[in-house]
Amino acid sequence: MPQAYTEFQNVPPLLWGQLIFPMDAGHAPPEAVETAENTASSPPQRATDYIATRQGVQSHHFPRLSTAHYNQGMRYAIETNKLTKHYRVYSKKEGLLPSLVGLIRREYREVEAVRGIDLRVEPGEFVAFLGPNGAGKTTTLKLLSGIITPTSGSASVLGYTPWKRDNAYRRRFALVMGQKNQLWWDLPAAESFRLHQQIYDIPEATFRRTLGELTGMMQVESLLYRPVRELSLGERMRMELIAALLHSPDVLFLDEPTIGLDVTAQFTIHQFLRHYQQTRGTTILLTSHYMKDVAVLCRRVVVIAGGRLIYDGSLTGLVDRFGGYKIISVLFSGGEIPGDLERFGRIVSREPPRVRLRVDRQVVTATLRELLARYAADDVSVEDPPLEEVVSALFVSAEEAGDAATSVSLVRS
């Protein structure tokens, strides 16, 4: 790669690692790229088309990674052991005199962003990585992508140590951060895509085919030559995902990819990510504060709080363990609502003739039996509590445990 790239000013932050440590121009492309180059192409399809035709999509759109593509003998795509990251932060006091004193004698505090994380992710898993603000999610992704180095512990991604920044590793992962740009702000996205082609040494035929497929599914073909600063937030995020996937990574780290997006943009990204991951077998680690992302895309959930893992298991297991209750919805006959429903549970909403009751899980069956014996109903349904409430309750319990880390044990389901 031309060394001139190392001299660019105002480079988007997510490209710094690539430009400061350029890859060898003669390095052979990943096996997945070679496979794609020898595969017959087909016209791009839009993400909305996949909803109805997902079962009929041919595998040549995105060649699925075989187990041989991962390093031999590697059981986990991502593995961490006691991974820890502490920051030393300057504590600046308010006022002129304390500021002057701080020039001579500074006070620092230690921030334990990540505290002894043990995580195992198998190849092809789509894992949600959840936690409140400041829990250590983004720090963990930065460690796994090699942007920062740990204080202690170890990590392996695809058999590589991330912070060694091996070229072979950097060709096989991608990081998308919803609040950071990797596209050049004043240039069309097409120009940034060309830069990525040079960085990752993607063959021209493969580049054109992959770009056509991705832009077709993301419905942004007409926006390629518009400056990025003129795109909407949803359009920019779709372009960011395209840039991250041009080199066909084996592992994809997504840090709040749908933040601030409208319902339509979220739906498009959900459908795209689900199809891409299912057809290609990419390992994806997703952080998000939108529980819709988790419910639509992920079966496994890992929860972090205070820098420690507090839950690792299935999404249904999370709801069963920390939900604690069910929502019973009853549509009463006759258009009237009985007046003594409070004895069955807390009334969540009352929209005559329908009432929604919050009932403890242990008594759902008995409550339904008594309700139907006493009153005539046209419709009855039992629902799990909203995922947002379940996760919020888990966060609150973790915060109540405070810094007494021994009282917060990892729950596996």
The reply to whether the predicted model has a pTM over 0.95 is no
Taking 70 as the threshold, does the pLDDT of residue 362 lie above it?
Answer: yes
Nearest residue to 134 (alpha-carbon basis) of 121, 115, 149: 115
Taking 50 as the threshold, does the pLDDT of residue 47 lie above it?
Answer: no
Farthest CA pair distance, the chain: 80
pLDDT band at 393 (very low <50, low <70, confident <90, very high): confident
User: What are the residues facing 356 on neighbouring strands?
Assistant: 329, 349
CATH 3.40.50.300 is right for the domain spanning 78-298: yes
* More confident of the two residues 398 and 147: 147
Per-residue pLDDT of 10-43, as tens digits, reads: 444 444 344 433 444 333 333 333 333 333 333 3
Cα–Cα distance between 334 and 207 in angstroms, integer?
Answer: 64
**Residue 26 phi, psi (nearest 5):** -90, 5
Burial of 144 (0-12, 13-18, 19+ CB in 10 A): buried
pLDDT band at 284 (very low <50, low <70, confident <90, very high): very high
pLDDT band at 309 (very low <50, low <70, confident <90, very high): very high
At 82 the three-state DSSP class reads: strand
* More confident of the two residues 367 and 397: 367
One-letter identity of residue 43: P
**Do the bridges between strand 251-255 and strand 126-130 make them parallel or antiparallel, or are there none, so unpaired?**
unpaired
Range list of β-strands (E), 122-250: 126-130, 152-157, 173-177
Cα–Cα distance between 287 and 30 in angstroms, integer?
Answer: 26
The number of beta carbons lying within 10 Å of the beta carbon of residue 39 is 16
Mean local confidence (pLDDT), 393-400:
79
Cα–Cα distance between 13 and 147 in angstroms, integer?
Answer: 11
- With b for 16 or more beta-carbon neighbours within 10 A and e for fewer, the 320-356 pattern comes to eebbebbbbebebeeeebeeebeebbeeeeeeebebb
Cα–Cα distance between 218 and 211 in angstroms, integer?
Answer: 10
Cα–Cα distance between 185 and 227 in angstroms, integer?
Answer: 7
Least confidently predicted of 38-47, 222-231, 334-343: 38-47
Per-residue pLDDT of 120-163, as tens digits, reads: 999 999 999 999 888 999 999 999 999 999 999 999 999 999 99
Mean local confidence (pLDDT), 76-85:
96
Ordered by start, the domain boundaries in the chain are 78-298, 325-384
In this prediction, residue 82 carries a pLDDT of 96
**Residue 254 phi, psi (nearest 5):** -120, 115
Least confidently predicted of 89-93, 268-272, 279-283, 341-345: 89-93
Give the DSSP letter of residue 160.
B
SS (H, E, C) 27-54: CCCCHHHHHHHCCCCCCCCCHHHHHHHH
Taking 90 as the threshold, does the pLDDT of residue 321 lie above it?
Answer: no
In this prediction, residue 254 carries a pLDDT of 95
Range list of β-strands (E), 195-324: 251-255, 283-287, 300-305, 308-314
In this prediction, residue 165 carries a pLDDT of 93
Taking 80 as the threshold, does the pLDDT of residue 6 lie above it?
Answer: no
Mean local confidence (pLDDT), 262-284:
91
**Structure tokens, 17:** 């690692």
In this prediction, residue 152 carries a pLDDT of 95
Range list of β-strands (E), 68-124: 78-90, 108-121
